[in-house]
Amino acid sequence: MAEVLLQLDGISKSFPGVKANDEVSFQINSGEIHALLGENGAGKSTLVKMIYGLMQPDSGSMKLGSENFRPSEPSKARQSGIAMVFQHFSLFDALNVAENIALGMENPPRLQDLSEEIETVSKSYGLPLGPRRLVGQLSAGERQRVEIIRCLLQNPKLLIMDEPTSVLTPNEVKTLFETLLRLKGEGKSILYISHKLEEIREICDYATILRNGKKVGSCIPRDTSAKQIGEMMVGKSFSSPSRKTRAFGEELLKVSNLSIRTKDFFGTSLSNINFSVRVGEILGIGGVAGNGQDELLSALSGEDKTSPSTIKIFNQPIGKLAPDERRAIGMRAAPEERLGHAAAPAMTLIENTLITSHSEDVINQLGIIKFDNVKEKTKDIVSEFDVRTATLDNAAASLSGGNLQKFVIGREILQKPRVFVVNQPTWGVDAAAAAFIRQSILNLASNDSAVVVISQDLDELFEICDTFSVLTNGRMSKSHNIRSLSSEDVGLLMGGSDLDRKSHDTA
């Protein structure tokens, strides 16, 4: 029997109007990777903030080892051997790696010595990191390394990780898991917060599930199916999106010889991309983010213009049209970055609805906004897509990631686009919301639209798409009927080779 490291007993915490945690009790053993699961807003973050001393519980007690534990501030928690890797990294772009790490330590050594230590530790864990590099220039995976190294240097007993994989590429996730398993082998405990069930089933020993602030169950993830865990999280059984076999109509969107030189220093140029999508078809574009996905979306949405005939809708050349002109003829897009790209963070939901509305619907002849109409539309989005918000006047930034994504997708889908392009539709969204979003994409396609889904999540693509291709290094493979592909085929495609022996399914 492993010894108990941290024991939570009846922890409650309220905010005005919400009970964030209600009598939560569980224990974490030494050398255990313990999952804390729940939908967005289930109270996971509040709970770990109390363990880390950023908030204090209203009632209940914690025990670390055999001693009572109630940290009044993060430094007290750190002294007791608790370290935390934040979901939105708590890093400083303008400072270098060593300075960032020093800020998260209680008694940092001189920067000189610290730099050497960082190099040794990071190498020994297989997470190489240059101590003098500016954090602002690091990739998401490297930034997370900074946080992990910062924690490891303090030799913690318990490492809290808040949604660590939401910003990582599949390869980075693999490296992270190796590190976590190694830490576990050293007898450290890890509290792993996530809503990605497959990940949890892969590495966690034990899971505690929260819903609406209450602990609703626990399980050993390896022995429980993802569906069962998902149902515990949501509290009802949710069905996987259902797909009807659809007959495809005529060719709706056609992209031919699309090449774009990227203007972004870190971007990827597109070279000679060709594909077409028919009425009723969902084309899935897989591949690791950063291989031209953003550039492809910009070209389709109209943010980047191309020569007119590169992109055609019903044989009408639209490559030169601006985003609003494309929306007017029924082509809409939802970019990956919800805050700042798909929605303006500081503006209200009503104003965000206005941004992509057809101007005839929302502006009268005098050029004055018909706010009643916009409000009606916003109300429809919120009710039909189950967007949880206090009022329609809430700023977009105040919504949780999943809710905002439902809003963005709903805003575009309710306009009934003929062509819909979406990048990472369910990134960072909990299981129930993801299922809902996928279902609405399927419904849109059944209503005679053509849909392009760009995603890193292969399971997602296989769940909803009819045809599949891969974008690697700015080049796109031919599209294949997704049901004819084996996992070996997908691997080949992801590696950048084409399957010549298979016929192009549109042929």
Partner 1 sequence: MVIFGIDLVLLISALMISATPVLLAAIGEAVVEKSGVLNLGVEGMMITGAVIGFIFAVNTQTPIYGFICAAIAGALLSVMFAVLTQYIMSNQVATGLGLTMVGLGLSALIGKPYEGIKSPTLSKIEIPILSDIPVLGPMIFSHDAIVYFSVILVATVAFVISKTRIGLVLRAVGENQEAAHALGYKVVRIRFLAIMFGGATAGIGGAYISLARVPQWTEGMTAGAGWIALALVVFASWKPWRVLLGAYLFGGITVLQLNLQAIGVAIPVEILSMSPYLVTIVVLVGISLFGHHTAPGSLARPFHASQ
Residue numbers of the site for partner 1 (CB under 8 A)? 53-54, 73-75, 78, 86, 88-95, 99, 102-104, 108
220 and 206 Cβ atoms separated by less than 8 Å: yes
Whole-number minimum distance, CB 58 to partner 1, in Å? 17
How far, in Å, CA of 129 to CA of 113, rounded? 15
CA torsion angle 95 97 98 104 (round to 10): 80
How far, in Å, CA of 401 to CA of 454, rounded? 18
- Which has the closest alpha carbon to 118: 134, 107, 129? 129
- Which has the closest alpha carbon to 457: 481, 477, 431? 431
Whole-number minimum distance, CB 109 to partner 1, in Å? 11
Whole-number minimum distance, CB 99 to partner 1, in Å? 6
Q: Which is nearer to partner 1, 153 or 203 (CB)?
A: 153
Locate tokens 């990134």: which residue? 427
Tally the C-alpha atoms within 13 A of residue 160's C-alpha that lie toward its C-beta. 23
Whole-number minimum distance, CB 52 to partner 1, in Å? 9
Whole-number minimum distance, CB 105 to partner 1, in Å? 10
Whole-number minimum distance, CB 16 to partner 1, in Å? 11
Q: Which is nearer to partner 1, 76 or 341 (CB)?
A: 76
378 and 362 Cβ atoms separated by less than 8 Å: no
Task: Read off the tokens for 217.
Answer: 């169950």
183 and 156 Cβ atoms separated by less than 8 Å: no
Q: What is the DSSP string of 46-100?
A: HHHHHHTTSS--SEEEEEETTEEE--SSHHHHHHTTEEEE-SS----TTSBHHHH
- Which has the closest alpha carbon to 479: 489, 468, 491, 495? 468
Q: Which is nearer to partner 1, 54 or 329 (CB)?
A: 54
Whole-number minimum distance, CB 263 to partner 1, in Å? 18
Q: Which is nearer to partner 1, 329 or 397 (CB)?
A: 397
Q: Which is nearer to partner 1, 94 or 366 (CB)?
A: 94
Whole-number minimum distance, CB 135 to partner 1, in Å? 10
Q: Which is nearer to partner 1, 150 or 201 (CB)?
A: 150
Q: Which is nearer to partner 1, 86 or 177 (CB)?
A: 86
Query: DSSP state, 338?
Result: T
65 and 158 Cβ atoms separated by less than 8 Å: no
Q: Which is nearer to partner 1, 53 or 221 (CB)?
A: 53
